[in-house]
Amino acid sequence: MKKLGILLTAALVLTGCTQTPDVSVSDYWVKSSEMSMVGGMTAVYGTITNNSSKEITLVGGLTDVAGKVEVHEMAMIDGAMKMQKIDGGLVIPAGQSVVLEPGGNHLMLLELTEAVEPGSQISVTLDFEGTEDVTLEGVVAKPAEGGDEEYHTEGMDH
């Protein structure tokens, strides 16, 4: 009987390792536009779901194709909707989803080291506070259907 108890405990521990991850990301893509040339900028979108029972915060990211990655929101600045960095990151409450989409919250890739053209694929690591980072491979680039953001600090006028 004692041996059986040990085996059961081992099985439970193994099951624990394959449970749902704290965070899952779906429908992700990266925008290609006239801004997404070398030295330019673009944004990553998708749905981030917090499967855990604790708060998780998206605080930044990392990718080979950008010198800098920031978490941005849209806000009313000087009477116009513009994007800005979210201080402290984007909070995803326990058990809830947050959508990154054109015209809303997004993961900003700045100082691009290569052009992001329609159909090209990049990999991006999402940096979370409260759980492990998540790396997305094969994030496909496509043009956005409206909802372009305007950056208020580095105003790239064109």
Q: Which stretch binds Cu ion (CB under 5 A): 47-55, 59-67, 103-111, 121-129?
A: 103-111
Task: Decide whether 41 or 92 has the Cβ nearer to Cu ion.
Answer: 41
For 62, counting Cβ atoms within 10 Å of its Cβ (0-12 exposed, 13-18 middle, 19+ buried), the class is: middle
CB of 106 to Cu ion, least distance (A): 6
Q: Indicate whether 72 belongs to the interface with Cu ion (CB under 5 A).
A: yes
Q: Which stretch binds Cu ion (CB under 5 A): 44-52, 65-73, 89-97, 123-131?
A: 65-73
Q: Which stretch binds Cu ion (CB under 5 A): 2-10, 64-72, 95-103, 132-140?
A: 64-72
Q: Indicate whether 83 belongs to the interface with Cu ion (CB under 5 A).
A: yes
Residue among 115, 99, 116, 118 at smallest CA distance from 45: 99
Instruction: Please report, as residue ranges, which positions from 108 to 137 form the binding site for Cu ion (by CB under 5 A).
Output: 108
Task: Decide whether 103 or 118 has the Cβ nearer to Cu ion.
Answer: 103
Instruction: Kindly list the residues in this chain that would bind Cu ion in the complex (CB under 5 A).
Output: 72, 83, 108
